[in-house]
């Protein structure tokens, strides 16, 4: 089992430090030797998320050794400063951690399986570039074309986890409202819905269901969007990292790891799935709505 001291910020920090060291071409021994006061054991513990109170100065020195950009360095230092958050973690965008240092994407990339409930919007991993662009233009109307395109590229790059050699298993329930909420033009919506059917038909690791309007509120309440991340197990059957629930809003996100919180969302997802259309009926509904957009 992961150590009780291993918090989500510690896991995030350790995973990134290890990747950055490898990208820079340093062995653990050589990297530790070049950071004042750092031993090989201490760096190993940092990379494994085992150092309960990482020193922000040490983290900055390590990142500078690897030649990282300032925003990445600031993000790593921010994670070190929030290392004590255990059962839940509130990450405010642009607070201690710069906006460009995407904490969730690192979790998403490390996950083995993702379950996603999205009642009003197409999930990010299944969005087309045109759909993404239309959303970003509404969210950041004054940003300009270059910034819009940069953000589209970043978001589009995330989708590689679905088609890589060891793809993430993605199980998603989309509310029917998301198919009707117009993002951009009818042409954009038609292409987006066609993309949904193609991705779920062509890739065995993607399971798509639609929660129809007729299902009402299966949990007895209006459930917000949430994502359950599973990181798989080690050879002895222990979890690589604790399963995590991610709840996002416009100013930040909440990460939940307390077993009771994860189990609650497990039950909610199961209830929502049972009330949803099966895969075939979902494909038929999405295809019908795509054709309606195409006729406009």
Name the CA dihedral angle for 62, 64, 68, 74, rounded to a multiple of 10 degrees: 80
- pTM value? 0.84
Residues with Cβ within 8 Å of residue 27, at least 6 apart in sequence: none
pLDDT at residue 248 in the model:
84
Residue ranges of the chain whose pLDDT lies below 70: 1-6, 84-88, 91-100, 251
Give 1-85's CATH code, choosing from 3.40.50.300, 1.10.260.40, 3.40.50.970, 3.40.50.620: 1.10.260.40
Q: Using CA atoms, how far apart are residues 29 and 175, in angstroms rounded to an integer?
A: 51
User: What's the pLDDT score for residue 233?
Assistant: 87
Report the C-alpha gap between 169 and 112 in whole angstroms.
6
pLDDT value at residue 236 = 86
| CA neighbours closer than 13 Å in the CB half-sphere of residue 263 | 3
Alpha-carbon gap, residue 174 to 86, rounded angstroms:
30
**Where in the chain are all domains bearing CATH 3.30.870?**
102-127+157-296
Model pLDDT, residue 4: 39
Q: What gap in Å lies between CA 209 and CA 200, rounded to an integer?
A: 10
Backbone angles phi, psi at 97, to 5 degrees: -110, 125
Q: Which CATH code fits 102-127+157-296?
A: 3.30.870
pLDDT value, residue 1: 42
Which residue spans of the chain are classified as CATH 1.10.260.40? 1-85
Main-chain phi, psi angles of 205, to 5 degrees? -80, -5
**E runs forming strands in 84-192:** 88-92, 113-118, 169-175
Cα distance between residue 121 and residue 113, in whole Å: 20
- The tens digit of pLDDT for each residue in 41-96 reads 999 999 988 887 899 999 999 999 999 999 899 989 988 888 766 666 776 665 66
The answer to whether the CB of 276 falls within 8 A of the CB of 173 is yes
């Amino acid at each position: 089992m992961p150590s009780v001291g291993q918090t989500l910020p510690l896991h995030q920090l350790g995973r990134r430090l290890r990747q950055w060291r490898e990208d820079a071409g340093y062995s653990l021994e050589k990297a530790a030797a070049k950071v004042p006061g750092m031993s090989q054991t201490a760096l190993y513990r940092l990379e494994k998320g085992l150092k309960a109170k990482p020193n922000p100065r040490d983290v900055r020195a390590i990142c500078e050794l690897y030649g990282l950009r300032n925003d990445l360095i600031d993000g790593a230092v921010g994670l070190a400063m929030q290392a004590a958050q255990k059962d839940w973690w509130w990450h405010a965008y642009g607070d201690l951690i710069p906006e460009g240092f995407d904490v969730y994407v690192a979790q998403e990339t490390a996950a083995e399986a993702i379950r996603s409930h999205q009642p009003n919007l197409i999930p990010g991993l299944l969005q087309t570039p045109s759909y993404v662009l239309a959303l970003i233009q509404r969210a950041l109307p004054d940003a300009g074309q270059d910034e819009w395109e940069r953000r589209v590229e970043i978001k589009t790059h995330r989708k590689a986890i679905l088609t890589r050699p060891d793809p993430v298993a993605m199980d998603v329930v989309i509310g029917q409202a998301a198919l009707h909420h117009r993002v951009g033009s009818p042409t954009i919506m038609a292409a987006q819905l066609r993309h949904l059917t193609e991705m779920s038909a062509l890739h065995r690791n993607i399971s798509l269901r639609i929660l129809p309007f007729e299902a009402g509120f299966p949990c007895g309440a209006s459930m917000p969007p949430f994502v359950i991340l599973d990181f798989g197990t080690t050879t002895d059957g222990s979890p690589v990292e604790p399963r995590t629930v991610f709840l996002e809003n416009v100013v930040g996100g909440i990460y939940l790891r307390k077993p009771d919180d994860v189990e609650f969302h497990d039950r909610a997802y199961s209830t929502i799935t049972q009330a949803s259309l099966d895969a075939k009926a979902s494909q038929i509904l999405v295809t019908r709505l795509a054709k309606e957009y195409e006729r406009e």
